Amino acid sequence: MTSNALLFGWNRSIPGREKVSAQHFNEFVQYLGSLQQNGEIQSFDIVFLDVHGGDLNGFFLIKGDSAKLDALAATTEWITHITRAALHLDGSGVVRGVTGAAVEGRMALWTSVIPS
């Protein structure tokens, strides 16, 4: 089943690497803006979570066509950004997901495998 979202999340900047994180954050926002402008992604949202004691404190939710997201995730530029982030962010990672109308299909799949 296809997905229509990439979630790139993190816990926090590694202590002493905060300035690097801030600079890379701005570069990544510009990068995503150019991808959106070129039609490679549909949209992206930036979410900072309130302090809650957990290990996910912020994320980018990047939406687009599944095939385009697959192609994006295979580019050297994307892999370079994610690799750079791992050097200054604690708990960074990327996961595929679904939003909007695609949730109905995932929910139907999930309920179909629940034992009776």
Domains of the chain, earliest start first: 5-112 (3.30.70.100)
| All residues at 6 or more sequence positions from 102 whose CB lies less than 8 Å from its CB, including other chains | 2, 3, 4
pTM of the model: 0.92
pLDDT at residue 116, rounded to an integer: 85
Q: Is 25's pLDDT higher than 90?
A: yes
pLDDT at residue 82, rounded to an integer: 98
